[in-house]
Amino acid sequence: MTLETLSTNKAHGGVQGVYRHEATTTGTPMTFSVFVPAHEDGAKLPMLWYLSGLTCTHANVTEKGEYRAACAEHGVIFIAPDTSPRGDEVPDDDGYDFGKGAGFYVDATEAPWSGNYRMRSYVEDELPALILREFPMADLSRQGITGHSMGGHGALTIGLRNPDRFKSVSAFAPIVSPLHCPWGEKALTGYIGGDREDWRAYDACAMIADGLRVPEMLVDQGDADQFLSEQLKPELLKAACDGAGIELTLRMQPGYDHSYYFISTFLPEHVAWHAKRLNG
Amino acid sequence: MTLETLSTNKAHGGVQGVYRHEATTTGTPMTFSVFVPAHEDGAKLPMLWYLSGLTCTHANVTEKGEYRAACAEHGVIFIAPDTSPRGDEVPDDDGYDFGKGAGFYVDATEAPWSGNYRMRSYVEDELPALILREFPMADLSRQGITGHSMGGHGALTIGLRNPDRFKSVSAFAPIVSPLHCPWGEKALTGYIGGDREDWRAYDACAMIADGLRVPEMLVDQGDADQFLSEQLKPELLKAACDGAGIELTLRMQPGYDHSYYFISTFLPEHVAWHAKRLNG
C-alpha cells in the first residue's frame, strides 16, 4: 500500500495535498486530500474529517470549503475522502444519488455493490491506518468528524458508532434518517437490501434510539435548502437527541441553501468548534 | 441592455450573484460575478474589482478566492468580470494564452480580434456603467482594483490609466511588462500589432516610465511560482516604481506558487488593504 502524491500546494502557511492509493476495502484506487497546517517539528496535531455529499469528490470542499485559514489558526489537520469507489470496473447507476459519487458511507451487502462499495470500512479503518503511517504529525487520539448532506449522514453515523475515536461530531445539512427520505430509501435498498431493520445501523436517528450516544452535536442547516423538508428533516434528529439526552446545537441559518456558499460560510466556525474540543 | 441573473446564493451574510448581459463593447454576452455584503438600506459600499488570469472566467475566483469573509467584515463589494469575450462566433486561438480566456484587458486593433476583443473598454467603461445602474449600493467614488497574473497586468494598467477612479491598486503575481515576456509579446502582437511602441499603453512598467502615476501599489508574488523568472519579473516593476517615486510594497511569499491556493491565502489581506484606503 503506497501513497502517491498527486499535488501539493502551499496555502495559508501549510500544505494542501491531494493523494491517491490502492485501497483494499474498495478494490480501487482512492483519492483524498489532506491539509496540514504549519507546525513545529515533532508536534502532534488534531484531525478533522470532512465527508462530502452526493456527486462530490475530495475536490469540492478542497477548492470551495474555505477551511484552511481556520485550520491554520487552530492547528487542525483537515482530511477529505472521496464519496465512493471510482473506475470503469466499478458498478454504477444512472442516478446522481446512487452508485459512483453516492457511497453513503456503508459497507454494501447486495450484489453487485458489495464488491467495491465499502466506504464505511474505508473511512473507518483503511484510510485512518494510512494517515497514521504517512502523516506522522497526525494525532489519532484527537479526531473530529463533520460532513455535508450525505456526508453529514456519514459523520453522524460514524461518529455515533465510534464515540471513543471521534471526540467531536458536527454536520452541515445532514441526511439524519435514511429510513425516512427518498435518498436514503433508494441507497440503502440498493446497498443493504430490502429489510429495513438492517438499515438501522446506518440511520443516525435509529442508532440513537437503539442506544448509541455521543455527548453533543453541532448541526448547521440552511432554511432555504431545497432538500430540507423532503430529504433532510433535522426535526427528526432533534427529537432523537432530545429523547436521548444528547446536547444538539441545531442552528437554522436563515436564507442559506444547500451549496458550498452555505458550507464555506460556517465551516470555519465548525473548525473552531472542533478545535476547542480536540485541543481542550 | 438588461441584466440576467444566473444565480444568487447567500454567503457570509451577503449575496454572491452571477449575472449575464449583452455587452456592446465586445458584441457578445458577458458573464460576471458580484458579491454584495450585508448592509443597511441606503448604505453606499466601496467596490473592489478583481481581474482574473489566463484561462479563467469569473468562476475561478468566485469559487476558490476565499474573499467573501473579508468583504463581509469590511463591507466591500467584490466584482469579477470574465477574461475575454465568449461564443462560437468569437475568433479564437489554439493556445491557452491568446484568444478566449486571454483578452489581456486591451482594445484590440488588429483583425480578426478588434471586433470582439475590447476588454479594456468593457472593464473601464461598460461594466462600471452597468454596475452603477443595477447595484444602487455601489459607491463608484470608492473603487479599488486587483487581479492575478494577466489580471494583475490588467489591474496595474487600468489602475495607472485611471488614478482618479481607482483609489487603490494591488496585484497577485502580475505580468508587469508585456514588452518583456513571451505571454505579452504573443498577445500584444496579435491584438495590437507589430509596432512595440503601441504596446506601451498596455505595459505597466512603460506606463510608469511614460509618466503615469498612482501613489502606491501592493503586490504579492510567490517565490515558487513557475512563471516567475520568464513571464512575471517583478523586479522590473520594482525598478520602475523606484524610479518614479511610487511606493511599491512587493512581498515575495516563500513557497507559494501561481495557483488559487496562493491567491486565497492573501486575498483577504488585499481586501483589508483596499478597504482601509477606500473607507478611510
**CA B64 to CA A268: how far, in whole Å?**
15
* Per-residue model confidence as pLDDT tens digits over B167-189: 999 999 999 999 999 999 999 99
CB atoms within 10 A of CB A197: 8
Q: Please list every residue in chain B whose beta carbon sits closer than 8 Å to the beta carbon of residue A261.
A: 9-11, 16
Q: Please list every residue in chain A whose beta carbon sits closer than 8 Å to the beta carbon of residue B257.
A: 9-10
* Per-residue model confidence as pLDDT tens digits over A74-94: 999 999 999 999 999 999 999
The pLDDT assigned to B86 comes to 98
CB atoms within 10 A of CB A245: 9
The pLDDT assigned to B2 comes to 87
- Whether B1 has a pLDDT exceeding 90, the answer reads no
* Per-residue model confidence as pLDDT tens digits over B109-143: 999 999 999 999 999 999 999 999 999 999 999 99
Q: B202: Cβ–Cβ under 8 A, 6 or more apart, which residues?
A: B104, B105, B106, B120, B153, B157, B178, B188, B192
Mean pLDDT of the region A112-137: 97
* Per-residue model confidence as pLDDT tens digits over A227-256: 999 999 999 999 999 999 999 999 999 999
- Whether A172 has a pLDDT exceeding 70, the answer reads yes
The pLDDT assigned to B136 comes to 97
The pLDDT assigned to A1 comes to 57
Mean pLDDT of the region A167-189: 98
* Per-residue model confidence as pLDDT tens digits over B151-171: 999 999 999 999 999 999 999
Residue numbers of A annotated as active site: 149, 225, 258
Mean pLDDT of the region B237-252: 98
- Whether A2 has a pLDDT exceeding 90, the answer reads no
Q: What are phi and psi for residue A90, nearest 5 degrees?
A: -85, 130
Residue located via cell numbers 429495513: A196
Pairing relation of β-strands B28-36 and B77-81?
antiparallel
Q: B139: Cβ–Cβ under 8 A, 6 or more apart, which residues?
A: B44, B45, B46, B47
CB atoms within 10 A of CB B1: 11
A265 Cβ under 8 Å from any chain B Cβ: yes
Residue of B nearest to A259 (CA): B9
- Whether B200 has a pLDDT exceeding 90, the answer reads yes
Q: Please list every residue in chain B whose beta carbon sits closer than 8 Å to the beta carbon of residue A264.
A: 11-12, 66, 68
